[in-house]
């Protein structure tokens, strides 16, 4: 395959590119290397992809439609893993315009480029945040997701609808993957794992929202990447049993599919903090705070559909994943 990975300097993007390279595929990457967080971390991730990667990487903003089209013309990808996006639930409350630019305009540019260059499979990142106000757990792709509680989630829900329209109109196979709280080495500095770790090691208090009464389906990054790579080689197809009288949100008469990709092992936030304390051998000083706007009380992925489709079986418990993260953190930040 000739695979384009967008957001290739990102936490999940660089690891996806590496996995595809290791399998012998021809891989190209783009990223705008913005300063939402430290661009040096992004450059270091790219460096991890090995010598010669520079010739296969381009700094490019997906919101620039002409640049995206020209890039497709030069590289002619057969498959696309679209991970570039403005991330972050809380940041979307203060800066919704950034999400319109990247997650809506940029996403539309990617769909248009795929249409004009006959891409064989468009795999894109969605999020567990689309389940929003729902408390029906475990979350199933077959339930309606019309009540997002953050603007970030709303843009990702819009991405799913936009992709379906292109799958229907132009028969572009589109698969959306709803990520559930991805963590691990090289994670973003704004994520709780790094913020908690930095505070614990420095003896500063960590802010624990909703008094710690939150549950997350923490998913180790390598389990996520394995799922992405397996999905990529199985383009979405139409569901011959799809019923337009009782429409299933997860499938379609078009070549379109939505999957949850998580651990299926929800963990209380306080247990997550306990594991960090155990790994670093240091107790956390906790400052309890009320629930933040846009946050969800609980995420819990039903992954049965992805397991049936590609044999997906995440195998990294948080005790193992957090330990691997800690080893990387100490190496990267304490040299």
Angle at 161 between CA 159 and CA 165, to 5 degrees: 115
Is 183 labeled as catalytic in the residue annotation?
Answer: no
**What count of residues does the chain have?**
335
| Residue 187, number of CB atoms within 10 A of its CB | 20
DSSP label of 118:
T
Q: Kindly report the average pLDDT of the chain as a whole number.
A: 96
For the chain, domains (ranges, CATH) are: 2-333 (3.40.50.720)
Distance (Å, rounded) from C-alpha 194 to C-alpha 186?
10
| Cβ-proximal residues to 142 (8 Å cutoff; 6+ apart), any chain | 248, 249, 250
Per residue in 270-283, pLDDT (tens digit) is 999 999 999 999 99
Per residue in 62-99, pLDDT (tens digit) is 999 999 999 999 999 999 999 999 998 889 999 999 99
Q: State whether the Cα torsion 75-78-84-85 is positive or negative.
A: positive
Q: State whether the Cα torsion 53-55-59-62 is positive or negative.
A: negative
Statement: residue 303 has pLDDT above 60: yes
Statement: residue 268 has pLDDT above 80: yes
Per residue in 166-225, pLDDT (tens digit) is 999 999 999 999 999 999 999 999 999 999 999 999 999 999 999 999 999 999 999 999
Residue among 152, 166, 256, 312 flagged as catalytic = 152
Give the pLDDT score at 135.
87
Statement: residue 335 has pLDDT above 80: no
With residue 4 as reference, give the H or E element that holds it: strand 2-6
Statement: residue 328 has pLDDT above 70: yes
- DSSP letters, 51-95, are TTGGGGEEE--TT-HHHHHHHHHHH--SEEEE------TTHHHH-
Q: Is 323 helix (H, G, I), strand (E, B) or coil?
A: helix
Per residue in 243-261, pLDDT (tens digit) is 999 999 999 999 999 999 9
Q: Which residue has the tokens 């002619």?
A: 76
Per residue in 138-152, pLDDT (tens digit) is 999 999 999 999 999
- Put residue 224 in one of left, alpha, beta given phi > 0 → left and psi -120 to 50 → alpha: alpha
Query: What is the rounded average pLDDT of the residues 330-334?
Result: 90
Report pTM: 0.96
């Amino acid at each position: 395959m000739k695979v384009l990975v967008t957001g290739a300097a990102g936490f999940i993007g660089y690891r996806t590119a590496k996995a595809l390279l290791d399998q012998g595929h021809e891989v190209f990457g783009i990223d705008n290397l913005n300063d939402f967080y430290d661009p040096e971390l992004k450059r270091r991730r790219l460096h991890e992809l090995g010598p010669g990667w520079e010739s296969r990487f381009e700094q490019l903003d997906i919101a620039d439609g002409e640049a995206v089209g020209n890039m497709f013309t030069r590289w002619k990808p057969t498959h696309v893993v679209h991970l570039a996006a403005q991330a972050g639930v809380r940041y979307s409350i203060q800066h919704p315009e950034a999400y319109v630019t990247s997650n809506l305009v940029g996403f539309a540019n990617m769909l248009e480029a795929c249409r004009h260059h006959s891409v064989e499979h468009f795999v894109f990142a969605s999020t567990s945040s689309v389940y929003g106000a729902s408390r029906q757990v475990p979350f199933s792709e077959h339930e309606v997701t019309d009540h997002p509680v953050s603007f970030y989630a709303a843009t990702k829900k819009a991405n799913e609808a936009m992709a379906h329209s292109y799958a229907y109109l132009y028969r572009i196979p589109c698969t959306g993957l709803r990520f559930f709280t991805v963590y691990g080495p090289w994670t973003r500095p704004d994520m709780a794992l790094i913020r908690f770790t930095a505070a614990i090691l420095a003896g500063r208090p960590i802010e624990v929202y909703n008094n710690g009464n939150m549950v997350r389906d923490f998913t180790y990054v390598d389990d996520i990447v394995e799922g992405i790579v397996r999905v990529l080689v199985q383009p979405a197809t139409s569901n011959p049993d799809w019923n337009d009288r009782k429409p299933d949100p997860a499938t379609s008469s078009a070549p379109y599919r939505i999957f949850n990709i998580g651990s299926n092992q929800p963990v209380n936030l306080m247990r997550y903090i306990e594991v960090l304390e155990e790994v670093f051998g240091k107790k956390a000083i906790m400052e309890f705070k009320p629930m933040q706007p846009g946050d969800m009380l609980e995420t819990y992925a039903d992954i049965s559909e992805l397991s049936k489709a590609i044999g997906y079986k995440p195998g990294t418990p948080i005790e193992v994943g957090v330990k691997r993260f800690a080893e990387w953190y100490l190496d990267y930040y304490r040299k």
